[in-house]
Amino acid sequence: MPKMLLEEIKSVEEIAKGIFKFSVFSDYVSKNAKPGQFVNIKCNDDSYVPLLRRPISIMNVDREKGTFDFVIQVKGIGTENISKMNARDKIDIMACLGNSFEISESYKNIAVVGGGIGIFPLLFLINDFNELNKNIKIDTFLGFRNKDLVVLENEFKSASGNLFIATDDGSYGHKGLVTELLIKEIGESDYDIIYTCGPLPMIRKVALIAANNNIKCQVSLEQRMGCGIGACLVCVCNIKSNDKAHEYKHVCKDGPVFWADKIVFED
Ligand code: FES
């Protein structure tokens, strides 16, 4: 059951222009959060603008220290307000929301594909996999628009066996799509599962690559949200069901993680 919490911010760091990493003291989130879940952050002041909270993925937890991390990219008034918060400020969050990625000891060789701000929940995922199985093989593929937006490279490098980076303009790593790197590696690797989060064209491509290679694939959908708990219809997505052609699901409550072969990708 999600909780409303007023927690203390431990630190804030601008890790790239307009991209801020927050660490927050929260015993509850650090002990209960699972990879893929998110928090809904209050980001208005007394003017009630913006009215809606902002859903932000949990990037990592430190269960011993009782902290969790998240990253925001300033894109509007809500994220701008959050970016102005400082260490020792109180932050009003609803947590922990949504379902989580499937983590299993039976997965011994995994690929993780992230793009833009979709990379953040994947760090939590691979950290938990490393905790579960020290011998797991993890290939991580990250895509960014350009070199200035490449963040958390060291964190992903130390948690992954191999890290592959692509930028749209070629200013860092491979020039082109991150999925091109995945296609290159997939022939050599025998992945048990692929996890992905990022822009829709990217996850659609990853889902297709996984299907063509008969590999299981889980997708975390990024979606505009309202309530964050299944009470409005802002976040619906189209999911295949067994008895009907498809059905509408709430990304916030039924997701954000779905099996890729169940998603009806709309144009
Ligand atoms: Fe309200 Fe999902 S955000 S139902």
User: pLDDT (tens digit, 9 = 90+) per residue, 9-35?
Assistant: 999 999 999 999 999 999 999 999 999
Q: Which atom of ligand 1 is nearest to the CA of 230?
A: 4
Which residue among 40, 56, 235 is best mutated to probe the pocket of ligand 1, counting the most ligand atoms within 8 A of its Cβ? 235
Please report, for residues 107, 127, 145, 189, 211, the alpha-carbon distance to residue 194 in angstroms, rounded to integers and kept in the order given: 10, 15, 22, 11, 10
> Is the separation of the CB atoms in 226 and 234 below 8 Å?
yes
Say what the pTM is. Answer: 0.94
- Beta-carbon contacts of 255 under 8 Å, excluding residues fewer than 6 positions away, are 98, 99, 220, 221, 223, 237, 249
Give the position of tokens 């009630």.
Answer: 48
Residues of the chain with pLDDT under 70: 46, 243-244, 267
Would you state the pLDDT for residue 229? 85
Pocket test for ligand 1, best of 39, 224, 229 (most atoms within 8 A of CB): 229
What confidence tens digit (pLDDT) does each residue in 66-116 have? Answer: 999 999 999 988 899 999 999 999 999 999 999 999 999 999 999 999 999
Query: Quick check: 26 and 247 in contact, CB under 8 A?
Result: no
Using CA atoms, how far apart are residues 265 and 132, in angstroms rounded to an integer? 32
